[in-house]
Amino acid sequence: MKIAVLAGDGIGPEIIAEAMKVLQALASDGLKLELEQAPFGGAGYDAHGDPLPEATLRLAKAADAVLCGAVGGPQYDVLPRAQRPEQGILRIRKELGLFANLRPAVLFPELVGASTLKPEIVSGLDVMIIRELTGDIYFGEPRGRRVNARQEREGFDTMLYSEPEIRRIARVGFTTAMKRGRKLCSVDKENVLETSRFWREVVTDVAKDYPQVTLTHMYVDNAAMQLVRAPKQFDVIVTGNMFGDILSDEASMLTGSIGMLPSASLDERSKGLYEPVHGSAPDIVGKNLANPLATILSLAMMLRYTFNQDEAAKRIEDAVKRVLAQGLRTADIQEGGARKVGTAEMGDAVLAEL
Ligand code: NAD
């Protein structure tokens, strides 16, 4: 199992260091792992003038899976768009054909008090949000600036989905639902957008191949409301790139902290890039405050989705659960009575439980 490790910027190296401890523990227990690190994001720009240096991309392509920390930071915000760290993320997704982003929003019972919502609304929450990752208004052409007929400056982007793009993400939605509660909710804006009307038509057609799954459709504005009103009504949500970007961040808050949420981005053969949902958190860099659990849980997703090592994945998840049950919390989890620990101490605690 070849894993490319791209720590990135900000708290990236801090949280990746903890995930590496877990990987090394699994390796010494007999998992055959090959790990190689490379600069990425702002670190890629600093080393090679490119957020996705050629050697990093080569390594990522040769690997079976990629583990990422996070990228970005205020010092890079002044760079031209093509050199910004975030472009590295968009490009690596495109280059590796990672079109399906899986973001579970699971509330650990121990953290029910950390959610901003009432316990009865969120306890037992287990939603999987599947976001299409390589199309939509984030990539559609044309885009740009121009001067219109009234001589006013304007900016524009193009929302666009092809039928094959919708079919393959819909299939990920249905197959994921088959492995879970067999309920799929497709989120769109069909009442306004032509792209969404087409999306709904194609998803409905794909549904014919999955008669055991109950398909529903929901407008994105309603979905945003339902996620905070009654989130447990959802099993799997499938949606486009922009709606998924927003809804998955919203869902992340239901679980208590963005520092707990892993993600997987998969290609058609389950090669994947695994990363925490959060960014590089420049406000807490070097303060031993970063929660490494989202990254460690991303590792569990990697073992499950790319390497089919369900047992090893479960070992990691169970170790995290036990650490939370002991009352250990990093500072991002707002909860009274817990024992506050730093990044490394949290990593070590998971390691001890492993
Ligand atoms: P952020 O997720 O980095 O931080 C938001 C808030 O959550 C901050 O207060 C931060 O301290 C806290 N936080 C995030 N992760 C945490 C963790 N593991 N433990 C404890 N607290 C945590 O989002 P932002 O501030 O909007 O963005 C900062 C930078 O990250 C920007 O440059 C942005 O472009 C980049 N970013 C990168 C990715 C990525 O690498 N995939 C994703 C989102 C944002």
Give residue 337's pLDDT: 66
Pick the CATH number of 100-260 from 3.40.605.10, 3.60.20.10, 3.10.20.30, 3.40.718.10: 3.40.718.10
Catalytic residue status for 189: yes
Give residue 336's pLDDT: 64
- According to CATH, the topology of domain 1-98+267-354 is Isopropylmalate Dehydrogenase (3.40.718)
Q: Catalytic pick from 9, 45, 188, 189?
A: 189
The verdict on the CB of residue 263 being under 6 Å from ligand 1 is no
Ligand 1 atom closest to residue 73's alpha carbon, by position in its atom list: 32
The full DSSP string for 226-289 is: HHHH-GGG-SEEEE-HHHHHHHHHHHHHHTS-GGG-EEEEE-TTS-EEEEESS---GGGTTTT-
Catalytic residue status for 249: yes
Q: What is the Cα–Cα distance from 225 to 203, expressed in whole angstroms?
A: 22
The verdict on the CB of residue 86 being under 6 Å from ligand 1 is yes
Give residue 115's pLDDT: 85
Give residue 230's pLDDT: 96
Report domain extents, the chain: 1-98+267-354, 100-260
Q: Which residues of the chain have pLDDT under 70?
A: 336-337
Give the Å distance between the CA of 69 and the centre of ligand 1: 11
Mutate to test the pocket of ligand 1, among 9, 245, 280 (most ligand atoms within 8 A of CB): 280
Of the candidates 291, 294, 298, the one whose C-alpha atom is nearest the C-alpha of residue 328 is 291
The verdict on the CB of residue 51 being under 6 Å from ligand 1 is no
Of the candidates 108, 95, 43, 34, the one whose C-alpha atom is nearest the C-alpha of residue 67 is 34
